[in-house]
Amino acid sequence: MLEQVLYVLSWIMLTVGGFFVLVGGIGALRLPNFYTRMHAASVTDTIATFLVLGGLLLQAGLTIATVKLIAILVFLLLTGPTASYALANAALLSGVKSNATFRKVNGKGSKSGAGQETSVNQETDASQETSASQENNEEQSK
């Protein structure tokens, strides 16, 4: 009975963990700017890792594999958020604005302020609108 409960629980954790990985991936692709994208990616680092490894822990039972999985879990839970923090901090220090939108997914244009205005015209309609609104925001904040 207990075994079956653990089995079901582990698969629930694995499935939900997989769902969060998927959500993190979609978010990292679709969200509008650097910080929101990073937020989505860090979901994969934390809750998804926790759930997937937790599910595996329940399947492993009490063996040496459990100890190793716990070690990996602790390592990832320490390093994942630290890496996210370091990334966000580096972005903040190098001047990435939170309201600056990505104009192209594979980032051919430079993120510097000078290149932004010149390259706006070449972009698609949707990103033109966002860039325009972002320029408005910048003016308002000034």
Partner 1 sequence: MIIIFAVFLLTLLVITAIAIVRAENLFVAVMLMAIFSLLMAANFFILDAADVALTEAAIGAGVTTVIFLGALSLTAENEKKVELSRGVAMSIVTATTLLLIYATFEKPKLGDPEAPVHQHVAPWYLSETPKLIDIPNVVTAVLGSFRAYDTLGEVFVVFTACIGVLFLLSAKNPADKQSRRTPPESIGLRHHLIPKVVGRLLFPFIVLFGLYVQFHGEYGPGGGFQAGAIIATGIILFALLEGEKTALAAVPHSVMMAMVAGGALLYTMVGVVTMFMGGNFLDYSVLSSNPVFGQQMGIILIEAGVGITVCGALLAIFHAFAARENY
* Site of interaction with partner 1 (CB under 8 A): 75, 78-79, 82, 85-86, 89, 106-108
Helix (H) / strand (E) element for 44: namely none
- Residue nearer to partner 1 on the CB measure, 122 or 136: 122
* Nearest distance from C-beta of residue 85 to partner 1, angstroms: 5
Quick check: helix, strand or coil at residue 108? coil
Among 16, 9, 40, residue whose Cα is nearest residue 26: 40
* Nearest distance from C-beta of residue 80 to partner 1, angstroms: 10
What's the chain's Rg over C-alpha atoms? 21
* Nearest distance from C-beta of residue 70 to partner 1, angstroms: 13
Which residue blocks in the chain are alpha helix, DSSP H?
2-30, 34-43, 49-60, 64-93, 113-119, 125-141
* Nearest distance from C-beta of residue 141 to partner 1, angstroms: 25
- Residue nearer to partner 1 on the CB measure, 1 or 64: 64
- Residue nearer to partner 1 on the CB measure, 5 or 29: 29
Q: What are phi and psi of 58, to 5 degrees?
A: -65, -35
- Residue nearer to partner 1 on the CB measure, 32 or 109: 109
